[in-house]
Every structure is written in structure tokens, then in C-alpha cells.
């Protein structure tokens, strides 16, 4: 086990401190608000606010804020996902207090200057338009709109041009004031400093942040609509094929088996799909699967891009691979299962060794209310997974897909 402590500050901030032999300090702060919690008239507002927090505070204008972040000499970043908006900085350990100073200022004291809002609006609109030009991003957007009717997964995290164009400063400030409160904030710090020292540092910079009641919209889980849809797009050279499967109610053991299946089916350069589509047939360059086990999501995508003349052949290969896994015709030998377990164990060790990855992992475990030691416990539980468990979960998950094909038109 790694040396971790979990504490709650008087104002409600959930803090995880990890003491590790490292010369780096990784600081992550998350607000529990993201795309799945947004109402229909708020699509993209969490992401918009993420951008705006870099545009000035009460004591730092845009230029000063970015100079201070750059002066840390490390890496700083922010992102918005389905359930959270995360701000992070990894630097030398002696820069930790400066990191906490800057990001606490952003979280507590952002001012949303009108001029900066208009500039950033154009940046985000450009980001959305660029996504439409990317056939991979475009294909994922299309299949989500086809597959879901109620789930927020229908919508891009960045929002759409219509909503982004109409957000006012008042809309942004109201949303920020509603959700950017300490009892809706999670912080993780990985460093060589002692737990009490880090706690006192967070208290010093965050203790004046006042808590208040927070109410989130309910997250709607929705199974995908089974159907096949062919779309067309001008001026593209490759066609894309996407399969989407949803699942819910799997046990912890079944989800572990699904992680192993995902790796072998499409998660590596030695996967079943990669071997059949690329190595044996030469049909595709990009071939992969994407698995998300988060609550309210529970999705598995299969993606590839091929020449239009190869569409039918590629679809037949994908269907054949799915059927053979479900029917047990593709044999998962014990040494193959062992290798897949080793790959997942290696991924766990990578997370444990890297301060930034570890900080990000425990942060999200805390947000989800799950055990921060789960990745270590999973190493032991992976050993209990048998090939029969993999076949069983394949039969559960690989059913009733939404299929989207994008062609030149």
C-alpha cells in the first residue's frame, strides 16, 4: 500500500495526501461538475468555465496568471470530463506552495472579464469546429447522437456552437458560484512532504472559502439504441466504422474480466481486431477499442477507419471476431490470459510510480466515492479471473450494438 491519508477540511474540501519518495510535487484540484450534470441549456458550460479560470482573478490578470503558472517550471493543465473539472500542476517539490497559491486563487477568485469571455468563446467555437473536421471525433459525436436519446453522452463535453454562442457572463458566473464551492472540491497532493505539513498548506490557502449547499442534476444512464446508420461527409479520404455497446450491473469481477477482454480484443497492437484487420488483411491503420467503466457511462466502442471499397469486408471481419469471442471459437489460452493480466498489472505499476498519474487516479476515486487503493486490490483480484469469465462477459456485453459508418458523400 502507498502512504496515503484522507481528511476533510472544516469547509468540506476532501483532501488526499500521499507521501512518496520523489523530488516532484503533483497537485490536483477537482470540482465535481462536468458534462453529465449539465442541463439541456447548459451544454458545454463546465468546459467554458474551465477555460475562463485561466483568464484572471481578483489579484492576477490574465497575463500575470499565465506568467505565474509558467514560472513554476513544471507542467500545468486542466480538463473537463463527464463528472468533473480538474486543474493540476506538477513541479519540483519546492514549488508546491506556489502551485497551491495560484490554483486556489483561480478556484476561489476568478473574475470572468467580459473581454476575455468573448476571446475564449471564439477559441472554444474553433475547438468545436476543428472536432467536426476530424473524422474520428466527428464519428464519435455522430454515434452518440444516434445511440442515445436522453443521456448527456449525446453531447460533446465542449458543447455545441449554438449554446456556446449564447452563454452570457451572468450564466458563467452563476454556474461557477453554484458549483465552485469547497464542499464540492476534491484535492490530491503527491509529494515527499509529511501529511500534516500538506494539510496545513491546503488549510492556509483554502480556509476562507465558504461552503454552501450543492445540488447536482441526476445522471441518467441509458442503454444504446440498437441500430445501424450510414452517414456521409464531403472531402474525406477514409471511411470510419464504429460499434457502441453499453452495459450495466456487472459485478466487480465481471468488470475486471471485461478489462482483460477489452485489452485482448482491441486494446493493443497484438489484439484480435488489430491482427485480423491490419496484420492479416491490411485493411486499416487505426484499430482500437475504448472502454469506460464509470457510473452513468458504461460504454465499449470499437473503432477503425478503412478505404470505402473495404467497408463491407471490414464490417464482416469485426462481426466475425465478435461472434467467435462470444461463441468461444477464439481460444483464450492460459498463457494468453496470463499475459493480459501482466499488462494490466504493469499499467497499475506505471500509475503508482508516476506522481501525476497517481494524484489523478486517487482524485477520481475520491470523487466516485470508491477506495483509493482499488488499483492495488485489483492486482490480487485479477489473479482470480479465468478464461471462462472472459467468455461470459463477452456474451453479456457484445449484444445489440449501435453501428455507425461514415462514407464520403
Instruction: Judge if 171 and 312 occupy the same domain.
Output: no
- Contacts with 126 (C-beta within 8 Å, 6 or more apart), sequence order: none
Instruction: Judge if 128 and 162 occupy the same domain.
Output: yes
Instruction: Judge if 287 and 356 occupy the same domain.
Output: yes
CATH number at residue 351: 3.30.830.10
pLDDT in tens, 87-125: 999 999 999 999 999 999 999 999 999 999 999 999 999
The per-residue pLDDT for 52 is 98
Residue 214 in any domain: the answer is no
Residue 217 in any domain: the answer is no
pLDDT in tens, 173-207: 999 999 999 999 999 999 999 999 999 999 999 99
What average pLDDT does range 268-291 have in this prediction?
94
Q: How many domains does the chain have?
A: 2
Instruction: Judge if 139 and 182 occupy the same domain.
Output: yes
The set of cell numbers assigned to 370 is 470508491
Residue 369 in any domain: the answer is yes
Whole-number Å distance between alpha carbons of 281 and 266: 16
The residue from 175, 206, 237 where one domain ends is 206
Residue 213 in any domain: the answer is no
Q: Are 233 and 409 in contact (CB under 8 A)?
A: yes
Q: Between these two residues, 375 and 13, which has the higher pLDDT value?
A: 13
Whole-number Å distance between alpha carbons of 113 and 61: 9
Q: What is the pTM of this model?
A: 0.94
Residue 50 in any domain: the answer is yes
State the CB neighbour count (10 A cutoff) for residue 175. 18
Whole-number Å distance between alpha carbons of 36 and 82: 5
Instruction: Please give the angle made by the CA atoms of 221, 227 and 232, to the nearest 5 degrees.
Output: 110
Q: Are 79 and 98 in contact (CB under 8 A)?
A: no
The per-residue pLDDT for 346 is 87
Instruction: Judge if 49 and 196 occupy the same domain.
Output: yes
**What's the chain's length in residues?**
409
The residue from 206, 238, 272 where one domain ends is 206
Instruction: Judge if 202 and 233 occupy the same domain.
Output: no
Dihedral through CA 312, CA 313, CA 315, CA 316, nearest 10? 110
Instruction: Judge if 174 and 292 occupy the same domain.
Output: no
Instruction: Judge if 239 and 302 occupy the same domain.
Output: yes
Classify residue 342 as exposed, middle or buried by CB count within 10 Å of its CB (0-12, 13-18, 19+): exposed
Instruction: Judge if 306 and 237 occupy the same domain.
Output: yes
The per-residue pLDDT for 81 is 96
The set of cell numbers assigned to 19 is 507521501
Residues of the chain with pLDDT > 90: what percent? Answer: 88
Instruction: Judge if 199 and 279 occupy the same domain.
Output: no
Residue-number span of the structural domain to which 124 is assigned = 3-206
Instruction: Judge if 196 and 316 occupy the same domain.
Output: no
Instruction: Judge if 17 and 111 occupy the same domain.
Output: yes
What's the pLDDT band for 379 if we cut at 50, 70, 90? Answer: confident
Residue 216 in any domain: the answer is no
The residue from 206, 238, 261 where one domain ends is 206
The per-residue pLDDT for 287 is 96
Amino acid at each position: 500500500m502507498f502512504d496515503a491519508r484522507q481528511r476533510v477540511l472544516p469547509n468540506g474540501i476532501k483532501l488526499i495526501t500521499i507521501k512518496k519518495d520523489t523530488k516532484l510535487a503533483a497537485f490536483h484540484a477537482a470540482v465535481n461538475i462536468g458534462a453529465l450534470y449539465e442541463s439541456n441549456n447548459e451544454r458545454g458550460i463546465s468546459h467554458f468555465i474551465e477555460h475562463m479560470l485561466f483568464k484572471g482573478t481578483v489579484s492576477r490578470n490574465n497575463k500575470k496568471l499565465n506568467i505565474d503558472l509558467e514560472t513554476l517550471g513544471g507542467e500545468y493543465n486542466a480538463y473537463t470530463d463527464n463528472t468533473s473539472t480538474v486543474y493540476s500542476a506538477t513541479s519540483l517539490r519546492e514549488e508546491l506552495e506556489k502551485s497551491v497559491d495560484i490554483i486556489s486563487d483561480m478556484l476561489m477568485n476568478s473574475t470572468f472579464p467580459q473581454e476575455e469571455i468573448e476571446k475564449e468563446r471564439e477559441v472554444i467555437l474553433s475547438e468545436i469546429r476543428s472536432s467536426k473536421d476530424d473524422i474520428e471525433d466527428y464519428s464519435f459525436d455522430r454515434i452518440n447522437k444516434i445511440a442515445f436519446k436522453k443521456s448527456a453522452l449525446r453531447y460533446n463535453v465542449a458543447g455545441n456552437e449554438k449554446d456556446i454562442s449564447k452563454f452570457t457572463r451572468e450564466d458563467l458566473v452563476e454556474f461557477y458560484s453554484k458549483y465552485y464551492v469547497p464542499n464540492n472540491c476534491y484535492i490530491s497532493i503527491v509529494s515527499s512532504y509529511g501529511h500534516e505539513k500538506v494539510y496545513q498548506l491546503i488549510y492556509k490557502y483554502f480556509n476562507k472559502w465558504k461552503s454552501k449547499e450543492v445540488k447536482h442534476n441526476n445522471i441518467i444512464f441509458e442503454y444504446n439504441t440498437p441500430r445501424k446508420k450510414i452517414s456521409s461527409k464531403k472531402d474525406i479520404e477514409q471511411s470510419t466504422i464504429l460499434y457502441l455497446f453499453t452495459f450495466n450491473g456487472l459485478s466487480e469481477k465481471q468488470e475486471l474480466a471485461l478489462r482483460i477482454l477489452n485489452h485482448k480484443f482491441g486494446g493493443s497492437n497484438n489484439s484480435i481486431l488489430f491482427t485480423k484487420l491490419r496484420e492479416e488483411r491490411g485493411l486499416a491503420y487505426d484499430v482500437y477499442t475504448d472502454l469506460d467503466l464509470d457510473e452513468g457511462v458504461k460504454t465499449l466502442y470499437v473503432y477503425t477507419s478503412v478505404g470505402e471499397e473495404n467497408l463491407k469486408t471490414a464490417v464482416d471481419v469485426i462481426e466475425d471476431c465478435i461472434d467467435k469471442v462470444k461463441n468461444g471459437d477464439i481460444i483464450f489460452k492460459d498463457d494468453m490470459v496470463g499475459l493480459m493480466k501482466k499488462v494490466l498489472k504493469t499499467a497499475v505499476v506505471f500509475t503508482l510510480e508516476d506522481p501525476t498519474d497517481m494524484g489523478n487516479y486517487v482524485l477520481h476515486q475520491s470523487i466516485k466515492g470508491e477506495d483509493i487503493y482499488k488499483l492495488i486490490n485489483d492486482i490480487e483480484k485479477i489473479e482470480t479471473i479465468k478464461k471462462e469469465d472472459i467468455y461470459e462477459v463477452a456474451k453479456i456485453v457484445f449484444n445489440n450494438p449501435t453501428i455507425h459508418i461514415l462514407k464520403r458523400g
